[in-house]
Amino acid sequence: MDYNKIRALLELYWEGETSLEEEEMLRHFFVTHTAALPEDLREAAPLFRYFQAEKEQELPAWEIPRVAPLPGSRPWQHWMKYAAALLMMAGAGYSVQQYIVRHNELSAAAWQQDTYQDPEKAYQEAQKALELLSRNLNKGTEQMEKLAYFNEATDKIKRN
Amino acid sequence: MSLELFHSQVVPIRPKLYRFAFRLLNNEEDAKDIIQDALLKVWHQQDRMAELQNLEAWCMRIVRNLALDRLKSKKYRSTEMLDRAGEMEAAHQPDPHLAAEQQDVMGRVHRIINALPEKYRTIIQLRDVDGFSYQQIADILELNMSEVKINLHRARKAVREQLQNIQVYGLQ
């Protein structure tokens, strides 16, 4: 290639005014040119050879990991959520059931606690309870008798 | 963005994103981490997909921002960067002396470019190595076209001055 053309392109290159094609031409020239270069072109040669070496340089091998399918695309992928919810519901149900069974057992035990094994003592306790009931009932009857007198008096007044 | 769209448009550019991250960080493990984080971020910002004109530039921008955050947070000091300078492979050269000399020159150029400010370095990387257009670079770096050209011009000028020093004085 004509050195003058390279000089002109280089000036544009240093100014940042070259196109990608022109830069490719310069790189190709400096990489492939084996004969001695004119002095004014020598400064650019290592740079373009460096760019070429960088382009060709193999980077460390890296097995790029496959991008895992991201959640949200298929409903069945949420199975763990559903399983957890189901487990929680089963747990809650079991707890409630256990509570009811235990509660019933405790109620039955409490009911059985006041029974008496000795019939004599049971009789005495029952008698005491009935006496208490009787006393209270009599109190009520006395009040009712007073009321009866009052009604009788009212009837007499009405007749007269 | 559907999963299919993600697979068809984002997944295929992962190698390019990885190369970009690797060159910014000069560290293989960190580059891998950054790509994973970037893909996650892209997925979480899927609502913005509709507004985007250039998906690739958007992904590159996310990678760059994450890489820069990492560089800042770790007060990054890459030793690999210096190591790699010595590993730059010169063109196949039958003469061992000439090969060693070429390798030395490659190492010097590598150091010159890596010594540039991050913005200049990235612009040179995107343009001269990866071959992105000015518009794509503008999208990636969130600059306008004229800013890209100005920065590219300054970056190349800085590199040229250093190359001239090598040429004339054998410095570096």
CATH topology of domain B93-169: Arc Repressor Mutant, subunit A (1.10.10)
Residues in chain B within 8 Å Cβ distance of A64: 14-15, 18
Q: How many CB atoms lie within 10 A of CB B59?
A: 24
**Mean pLDDT of the region B54-74:** 87
For residue B128, the model assigns a pLDDT of 93
**Arithmetic mean of pLDDT, B13-37:** 87
A50 domain residue, yes or no: yes
Looking at residue B81, its amino acid is M
Which chain B residues have a beta carbon less than 8 Å from that of A77? none
Mean pLDDT of A105-111: 76
Q: Per the domain annotation, does A158 fall within a domain? A: yes
Whether A71 has its CB under 8 Å from any CB of chain B: the answer is no
* Whether residue A157 has pLDDT greater than 80: yes
* Per-residue pLDDT at B6: 79
Model confidence band, residue B104 (pLDDT cutoffs 50, 70, 90): confident
* B167 Cα to chain A: minimum distance (Å): 6
| pLDDT for res B82 | 47
Tens of pLDDT, residue by residue over A5-60, are: 999 999 999 988 899 999 999 999 999 987 888 888 888 888 999 999 888 877 66
pLDDT at A62: 61
Q: For residue A70, list chain B residues with Cβ-Cβ distance below 8 A.
A: 3, 43
| Cα of A15 to nearest chain B Cα, Å | 5
Closest residue in chain B to residue A70, using alpha carbons only: B3
* Token pair for A127: 């008698």
Domain spanning B3-73, CATH architecture: Orthogonal Bundle (1.10)
Secondary structure of B17-34 in HEC code, one letter for each residue: HHHHHHHHHCCHHHHHHH
Find the residue in B nearest to A30 (Cα): B91
What integer pLDDT is reported at residue A112 of this predicted model?
64
Is pLDDT at B69 greater than 50 in this prediction?
A: yes
Cβ–Cβ below 8 Å for B160 and A43: yes
In angstroms, rounded to a whole number, what is the distance separating the alpha carbons of residues B9 and B56? 8
Strand residue runs (E) in chain A: none
Residue B48 has pLDDT above 80, yes or no: no
pLDDT band at A67 (very low <50, low <70, confident <90, very high): low
User: Which residues of chain B make contact with A57, given a CB cutoff of 8 A?
Assistant: 88-89
Distance, in angstroms, between A62 CA and closest chain B CA?
A: 8
pLDDT at position A6 is 92
Taking residues B12-32, report their average pLDDT: 86
The answer to whether A15 contacts chain B (CB < 8 Å) is yes
Whether residue B38 is predicted with pLDDT greater than 80 in this model: the reply is yes
- Indicate the number of domains in chain A: 2
Residues counted in chain A: 160
Whether A68 is in a domain gets the answer no
Per-domain residue ranges of chain B: 3-73, 93-169
Q: Which domain holds residue A129?
A: 114-160
How high is the pLDDT of residue B172? 43
If phi > 0 it is left, if psi is from -120 to 50 it is alpha, else beta; for residue B17 that is: alpha
Phi, psi of A17 (to 5 degrees): -120, 10
Residue A80 lies in a domain: no
Sort out which chain B residues have CB atoms less than 8 A from A59's CB and list them.
Answer: 18-19, 22
Mean pLDDT across B109-131: 91
Give me the helix-helix angle, B28-44 and B55-73, nearest 10°.
130
Burial of B121: CB neighbours in 10 Å, binned 0-12, 13-18, 19+: middle
B166 to chain A, any CB pair closer than 8 A? The answer is: yes
From CA B28, how far away is CA B19, in angstroms rounded? 10
Tell me the average pLDDT across B80-91.
Answer: 50
- Interface membership of B34 toward A (CB under 8 Å): no
- B134 band by pLDDT with thresholds 50, 70 and 90: very high
d(CA A153, CA B1): 99
The complex scores an ipTM of 0.76
